[in-house]
Amino acid sequence: MLYTLFSWACAIATLAALLYRLPTLLPNPKNVAVSALCAYFLFNSVAYFVDLDAFRGYFTTLLGFPNATTIVVQVSVVILTAAQQITIVNLALPAREARRTTRWLAAGFGVAILVLILLFVAVHPHKHANAQETVYLNLQDKGYALYFTYYLTICAAGRFQTVLFAFRYARTIPEFWLRLGMWLVAGGSALILVYCGVRYWQIVALHTTEVPAPWKSLFWLIADSGTLMQMVGWTIPLWGLKLEAIGGWLENYRSYLRLAPLWQALYRAVPGIALENPPSRRHAWIPPRPLAYHLYRRVIEIRDAELMLRQSADPIALHRLDQAQGLPHEALCEAAVLRSALRAGLGTQRSADDSREGQSVRQRTPGLSLRQEIITLIHVSSAFRALDKPGQGAKSFRSG
Backbone angles phi, psi at 365, to 5 degrees: -85, 125
Amino acid at 182: M
Instruction: Please state whether the peptide bond connecting residue 290 to the residue before it is cis, i.e. omega within 30 degrees of 0.
Output: yes
Secondary structure letter of residue 145 according to DSSP: H
**Is residue 192 within 8 Å of residue 226, measured between CB atoms?**
yes
Q: CA 321 to CA 300: how far, in whole Å? A: 20
Would you say residue 103 has pLDDT above 80?
A: yes
Q: What DSSP letter does each residue of 373-400 carry, written as one string? A: HHHHHHHHHHHHHHTTSTTHHHHHHHH-
pLDDT mean over 51-57: 80
Residue 394, pLDDT score: 43
The tens digit of pLDDT for each residue in 360-387 reads: 555 555 556 788 888 888 888 888 888 7
Residue 75, pLDDT score: 94
Q: CA 79 to CA 268: how far, in whole Å? A: 68
Backbone angles phi, psi at 99, to 5 degrees: -65, -40
Would you say residue 353 has pLDDT above 70?
A: no
Q: CA 349 to CA 248: how far, in whole Å? A: 38
Tell me the three state secondary structure of residue 138: helix
**Is residue 299 within 8 Å of residue 344, measured between CB atoms?**
no
Backbone angles phi, psi at 161, to 5 degrees: -65, -40
Q: CA 44 to CA 16: how far, in whole Å? A: 11
pLDDT mean over 108-128: 89
pLDDT mean over 286-308: 85
Q: CA 38 to CA 241: how far, in whole Å? A: 20
The tens digit of pLDDT for each residue in 199-249 reads: 999 889 888 877 787 777 787 889 889 999 999 999 998 888 888 888 888
The tens digit of pLDDT for each residue in 330-340 reads: 788 888 888 88
Whose CA is closest to 310, among 323, 295, 322?
Answer: 322
The burial of 82, by beta-carbon neighbours within 10 Å (0-12 exposed, 13-18 middle, 19 or more buried), is given as buried
pLDDT mean over 98-125: 92
Would you say residue 156 has pLDDT above 90?
A: yes
The pTM score is: 0.73
Would you say residue 195 has pLDDT above 80?
A: yes
Categorize the per-residue pLDDT at 274 as very low, low, confident or very high, splitting at 50, 70 and 90.
confident
Categorize the per-residue pLDDT at 314 as very low, low, confident or very high, splitting at 50, 70 and 90.
confident
Categorize the per-residue pLDDT at 38 as very low, low, confident or very high, splitting at 50, 70 and 90.
very high
pLDDT mean over 160-187: 91
Would you say residue 104 has pLDDT above 60?
A: yes
